[in-house]
Amino acid sequence: MLVSIIIPVYHDTEALARTLAALRPRDAEVIVASTPDDAESLAPLRAAHPHVVWIQVTRGRAVQMNGGARIARGSWLLFLHADTRLPDEWAAAVAEADADRRVSFGCFRFALDSPRIAARIIELGVRLRVALFALPYGDQAIFVRRDSFVAIGGYLPLPIMEDVDLVRRLRVTGRLWRASYPALTSARRWERFGWFRVTAQHLRLIVLYFLGVEPERLKCSHAD
């Protein structure tokens, strides 16, 4: 079983460097989908990681992930944010999902790299959301059977909520596998903009999305 790990990146070289350093290339095909704007800043990383497949595509997380998926050779596609690190046991989690043919996609447990109690509260909220609604976000390193991904047409070119849209469409292809291992995401956004503000903004966006507000309008109102 070959897994293709696809990492979209835009102006996030330092985070990508940490993520690549934590990956073991023998376990997977690693594809980094960057933009032409990052060519110069990523040059040292390209030289340091010759095992990685590097491609340049138009900016946009959904577009970049689709670009990586098009050239991927794996039977599973794992979409990893540049500031998220996979657990050491990630390959075992995908193998467990692969063994159940009823499963078409999966995710890892959400975790933040902060010791603050606010981080634990947010992690608990995410765990409840996934348990109750089977709705993981992209920072949980969503992995998908290649044939299921192709069957639904991949990511739609949305400016925001592309991960939620993908999960909603994948539900018709099979079950969600919830791995018990944590994918560790940087807490920098919460630390920079405020724990309450970022969490409230996430809640606002998802509520508006499910009320039918177009992603383009949500993106315009989304200040980061």
Number of domains in the chain: 1
Range of the domain at 169: 3-115+135-188
Q: Name 210's Cβ contacts closer than 8 Å, sequence gap at least 6.
A: none
Is position 130 within any domain? no
Residue 124 belongs to some domain of the structure: no
**Mean pLDDT of the region 173-183:** 97
Mean pLDDT of 74-87: 97
Query: Is the per-residue pLDDT at 12 higher than 80?
Result: yes
Q: What is the 3-state secondary structure (H, E, C) of 56-71?
A: ECCCCHHHHHHHHHHH
pLDDT of residue 24: 74
Please spell the DSSP secondary structure of 168-179, one letter per residue: HHHTTT-EEEEE
Model pLDDT for residues 30-42, shown as the tens digit of each residue: 999 999 999 999 9
Residue 15 belongs to a domain: yes
Backbone angles phi, psi at 98, to 5 degrees: -65, -30
* Band (136; pLDDT cuts 50, 70, 90): very high
Q: How far apart are the first and last CA of the chain?
A: 38
CATH assignment at residue 61: 3.90.550.10
Full-model pTM: 0.94
Higher pLDDT among residues 36 and 218, named by residue: 36
Query: Confidence band (pLDDT; 50, 70, 90) for 191?
Result: very high
127 in a structural domain: no
Sign of CA dihedral 163, 108, 124, 114: negative
